[in-house]
Structure 1
Amino acid sequence: MAEHYTSFDRGGTRWLLQRVTAVFLIGALTFHFFLLHFVNHAAEITFAGTQARMSQWGYFATMILFLIAATFHGVNGVYNALVNQGLDGTQKKAVGAVLTLASILLIAQGIRVALAMAGITVI
């Protein structure tokens, strides 16, 4: 029988965060689909409606957490898949740095859009 291998250190912080973000993402996606596909149908979604939703602090905070959780979960999964395929040494560090930078840029841009949609002006 094949031996089980994973780059995740069982019980480690990244291992735990991968599972926690998965649970959060299931809940957030359920909320998203229910609200934007069943309560409000696609034809009823407008820019003004999005601005109204984003101006509510609970919704705004949920969307920011959704952005951060999805980014971490996806990037951490890609990184670990690459490590599982044999990535190591300098390449592993370079890929980790590129993915970290890409994550920071994605989250920063997502927050900028969320702030704009909520009508919050930042210098």
Structure 2
Amino acid sequence: MAERYSSFDRGGTRWLLQRITAAFLIVVLAFHFFQLHFVTHAYEIELAGTEARMQNPAYFATMVLFLVTAAFHGINGVYNALVNQGIEGTQKTVVKWGLIAAGIVLVAQGIRVATVMAGVSIA
């Protein structure tokens, strides 16, 4: 029987954060799906409706937290999958910092779009 290998240290911070973000994402994704497929049907979604939803502070905060959590969860998962495949040394460092940079750009752009949708001006 093959041994199971994981780059996550059981009980470590990244291991715990991956599980917490997964649980949060399940709840928020269910909310998001319910909101945009049952309350507002997909064919009814328009820019004005999106702007109206984003102007609600609770909805705005939830969507920004959804963005940040999903970005972390995805990037952390990709990084650990690559480590599990055997990436080491310089490659591991380059991938780590490349994913961190991509995550920062993704979150910054997502927040920028969210603030525009909410009508907030960051001057």
- In structure 2, C-alpha distance between the alignment counterparts of 1:42 and 1:11, rounded to whole Å: 40
Partner in structure 2 of residue 84 of structure 1:
84
Structure 1 residues 1-123: aligned runs within 5 Å? 1-123=1-123
Unaligned runs of 5+ in 2: none
| Over 3 Å off, 4+ runs | none
The Cα of 1:59 is off from its aligned counterpart by 0.2
- In structure 1, C-alpha distance between the alignment counterparts of 2:71 and 2:12, rounded to whole Å: 19
The Cα of 1:62 is off from its aligned counterpart by 0.3
Cα deviations across residues 8-46 of structure 1 (Å, max 9, x unaligned)?
Answer: 011111100100000010001100110100111111111
- In structure 2, C-alpha distance between the alignment counterparts of 1:43 and 1:75, rounded to whole Å: 31
Secondary structure of the equivalent of 2:4?
A: coil
Secondary structure of the equivalent of 2:78?
A: helix
Secondary structure of the equivalent of 1:9?
A: coil
Unaligned runs of 5+ in 1: none
Moved more, 42-51 or 109-118: 42-51
Count the aligned residue pairs: 123
- In structure 2, C-alpha distance between the alignment counterparts of 1:43 and 1:92, rounded to whole Å: 44
Secondary structure of the equivalent of 2:70?
A: helix
- In structure 2, C-alpha distance between the alignment counterparts of 1:46 and 1:95, rounded to whole Å: 38
Q: So what's the TM-score if we normalise by structure 1?
A: 0.98
- In structure 2, C-alpha distance between the alignment counterparts of 1:3 and 1:43, rounded to whole Å: 49
RMSD of aligned C-alpha atoms? 0.5
Secondary structure of the equivalent of 1:38?
A: helix
Secondary structure of the equivalent of 1:7?
A: coil
Amino acid at match of 2:113: V
Q: So what's the TM-score if we normalise by structure 2?
A: 0.98
